[in-house]
Amino acid sequence: MSNSVSPKLRSDATALSRWLFVVAFMVLAIVVVGGITRLTESGVSITEWKPVSGTLPPITEAQWQAEFDAYRATPQYQLVNGPAGMTLSTYKFIFFWEWVHRLLARTIGLVFAAPLAWFWIKRRIPEGYKPRLLALLALGALQGAVGWWMVKSGIVNDVKVSHFRLATHLLVALFTLAGLVWTALDLIALGRGEGRSRLRGVGLVALVMLVFQLFYGALVAGLRAGTSAGGGWFNWDAWPLMQGKVYPDGVDWAMGAAHALLSDVFLVHFIHRWWAWAVVAVLVVVARKLRRTDRKASVVLHSVFGTQVLLGIVTVWSGVAIWLGVLHQLVGALLVATTVWCAHILGSPRHRQQ
């Protein structure tokens, strides 16, 4: 069937898929930097959104002092970092990570928008893919808006950003990553003369369950709930137990079930750690379905979700060490990309015919 594909279509599909994979890799990078930004409490260090002038960091001492003065008006400084004795030098450290995060976001936007315009002008976008690529561009713009919406909640309302807005920010990024990978895989199939894949069956179930798990993982991060179970290396009272019990003491239902399920640090952590095993179960089913048709994908999926589970455990034991927390977030994003890849294989015409 691949012989029926014209050399131009094959070339265009290959070029587009490689470009989308580059953008996907950059999204993985910004997820890592976002994790560092969260864990170092850097997210509200820059109190204004300046799409153009904000590309350059402060240079003069007066510029640095102006940024620091603006930060000192935030609840985070007034209630936490100010009393802790934060200096301008310390402020520069947290400013750096937030600036890198925003610079990388701008770079991703440019790396996506400029080639998209070039492919469009050169008529190199295959039929049916323009709406999807425009949707991915819109997701990128939405992510920028959600990011600033999230930061504003920490500038005005609280010492930290809203955990709901943080979860929205992370999920939009991971949804964009999934869209980039799925579209790139469809383009690779197009270049081979194969039809598009369909998201269905156990692949769809796995992704829906994974989204729920990622949502609760973001709530854990936003609520700083990672340490609510306790800590200490190989301390079984912190994992698999929580504070020495299967179901932890301290869950507060007084404000209603919705508040407890979404905002209680003990219950949110409890749900995140045990829903993980439901996700593992369905991913094992996905991997077993792939064994005969694509053993490599099956092995990779097993390896990624196994690594993620181990990272979750050691992150709790470490008391949420920054480097482990960041690795846990990175592998979570890699698990999204891997699950999308596996679901794409399961939904492909070639697999459906077997």
Is 169 known to sit in a ligand binding site?
Answer: no
Q: Residue written as tokens 């709530």?
A: 219
CA distance 159 to 145: 21
Taking CA 184 as the corner, what is the angle to CA 178 and CA 185, rounded to the nearest 5 degrees?
Answer: 90
Half-sphere exposure (Cβ direction) of 307: Cα atoms closer than 13 Å: 17
Q: Which residues of 86-96 are buried (b: 16+ CB within 10 A; e: fewer)?
A: beeeebbebbb
CA distance 56 to 14: 35
Question: Residue 238 in contact with residue 316, Cβ under 8 Å?
Answer: yes
Q: Which residues of 136-168 are buried (b: 16+ CB within 10 A; e: fewer)?
A: bbebbeebbebbeebbbbbbeeeebbbbbbbbb
Of the candidates 259, 291, 284, 276, which has an alpha carbon nearest to the alpha carbon of residue 339? Answer: 284
- How many other CB atoms are there within 10 angstroms of residue 50's CB atom? 10
- Bridge partners (DSSP) of residue 242 are 245
DSSP 223-287: HTGGGTT---TT-TTTTTSBTTBSS-TT---TT-HHHHHHH-HHHHHHHHHHHHHHHHHHHHHHH
AA letter at 292: R
Both tokens of 38, joined, read 């969260």
Q: Detail the residues annotated as belonging to a binding site for heme.
A: 272, 328
**Residues within the annotated binding site?**
272, 328
